[in-house]
Structure 1
Amino acid sequence: DEKVIGWIAFDHSSNRKRTSHTGSFELMVHNSYRGLGVGEKLLTALLHWAEKNPSIEKVSLAVFSTNQKAISLYKKMGFIEEGRKIKEFKINDHEYWDDVLMYKLV
């Protein structure tokens, strides 16, 4: 119905020589369409593009530690956790979430 149900945005800053081989992405799928393979299709398209782009060698992402469905998808797609920013997000006075950093070499 010509509605946007998801998007993926890749940030590749080629003006920095030391990091020009890397890029990171953000992925969003509307709540009503989660679990239907939309995110996997978007990510597959991005990885296919990255593999054909000779300047891209590493694709990275950051995800909330509480988003286990997304983390499972990323692991299924070959991403590896490379670190965490502990208590990066303060949800309320007593709750914090880590920011999980993941990557895949293409």
Structure 2
Amino acid sequence: MSVCKDEVKYIIRPVKLEDAEAVLDIHHSVIAEGEYFIKVSEEFTRTLEQQKEWIQKIIENEKDTLMVAEINGEIAGWIVFLSQDRKRLSHTGSFGLMINKNYRGIGIGRNLVTALLDWAEKNPSIEKVSLGVYSTNHKAISLYKSLGFIEEGRKIKEFKMNENEYVDDILMYKLV
């Protein structure tokens, strides 16, 4: 899929193994921001070799996908969908989305989620796409709602940000 927004042209495509380092770099940078990700920097210790193994497993599993947004050869963001292994959950999965800070606000997140939903609709094994999002991440919640996701639950005080600050985990889904 090729997209042009605000004079920025990018493509959304399936990940390649050679994207591993760029995907890992975005992962590290988003975690380092410390705002909307569960893990903190010292907890994310994945090596490049482990990243390649993770990507290879996703490529080999027809019920999982990892897509990237590429601008002039540079990976600007990615979305991963991981299915459930258990038989009674095998029709479901959840996704995570990360955009390089320099490329936010130009529609990459929306287009990655749309591409994921298109993929899920074509995948006969997938019926439900889910996610969890910090209750303080209003932009993301608005995006997901605009794409048809529905809040199905909330884990109260799920994340402890510091001694006196907690954030709820909002659980959302869309049937495809």
Same fold (TM over 0.5): yes
SS in 2 for 1:5: strand
1:84 maps onto 2:154 in alignment: yes
Higher strand proportion: 1
Write the distance in 2 (CA, Å) between the matches of 1:90 and 1:4: 31
Write the distance in 1 (CA, Å) between the matches of 2:146 and 2:119: 18
The alpha carbon displacement at 1:70 in A equals 0.3
Bigger RCO (CA 8 Å, 6+ sep): 1
Question: Aligned residues: percent identity?
Answer: 70
Runs (4+) off by over 6 Å: none
Could you say which residue in structure 1 is the equivalent of 2:95?
Answer: 25
Higher helix proportion: 2
**What does the per-residue CA deviation read over 1:61-104, in whole Å, with 9 as the maximum and x for residues that have no partner?**
00111100000000000000001111111111111111110000
Could you say which residue in structure 2 is the equivalent of 1:52?
Answer: 122
The alpha carbon displacement at 1:59 in A equals 0.2
1:11 maps onto 2:85 in alignment: no
1:99 maps onto 2:165 in alignment: no
**What does the per-residue CA deviation read over 1:11-57, in whole Å, with 9 as the maximum and x for residues that have no partner?**
012x3110011010001111221111000110111000000111110
Write the distance in 1 (CA, Å) between the matches of 2:74 and 2:134: 26
Q: TM-score, normalised by structure 2?
A: 0.58
Question: Where does structure 2 lack aligned partners over 5 or more consecutive residues?
Answer: 1-71
Q: TM-score, normalised by structure 1?
A: 0.94
Tell which structure's C-alpha radius of gyration is larger: 2
Write the distance in 2 (CA, Å) between the matches of 1:5 and 1:103: 25
Q: 1:74 aligns with which of 138, 144, 147?
A: 144
Q: 1:40 aligns with which of 110, 124, 142?
A: 110
SS in 2 for 1:35: coil
SS in 2 for 1:4: strand
